[in-house]
Amino acid sequence: MSENVRASERQQTPEEKSSATPPEDSGPTRMEREGLIRALCVNALQRKDPLAANLQMLNADLFAIAAQVNQALAKESPEGAITTSGFRAYEKKTDMLLKLARQIDRLSSLRVQSLVADAEAK
């Protein structure tokens, strides 16, 4: 009986604590992400420059696709037993997510270049 008492009084290791409780700041929920994407679209529609507006709408679309791919990846965690075909599907989705991130970065760079050019023209 004293062993049971000692076991229940034993302190949890950091690994046990982290696996037992979810992190407090786990990022935005799916609904919060969708709200941010909608806000980006609304902001894009208010732009006077049609190119900037279209780039921002395209960026919002890329963010939406990236969120969907990220959700699919979360469902197919590589930690379990994975078949070769399952790993290939996971790898494709991961590759797609990275390509989307690169494209979002490129569009953001274009936006920054446009802002710099506008500032220099003034």
| pLDDT at 5 (0 to 100) | 46
- Residue ranges in the chain modelled with pLDDT below 70: 1-25, 77-82
Residue among 44, 30, 35, 52 nearest 117 (CA): 52
Contact call for residues 34 and 55 (beta carbons, < 8 A): no
Q: Are 60 and 37 in contact (CB under 8 A)?
A: yes
Q: What is the pLDDT of residue 18?
A: 47
Q: Sign of the CA dihedral 51, 55, 56, 58?
A: positive
Alpha helices in the chain (DSSP H): 2-9, 14-20, 30-45, 50-75, 84-121
pLDDT of amino acid 7? 46
pLDDT, position 23: 53
The 10 Å Cβ neighbour count of residue 57 is: 16
What is the pLDDT at residue 36? 93
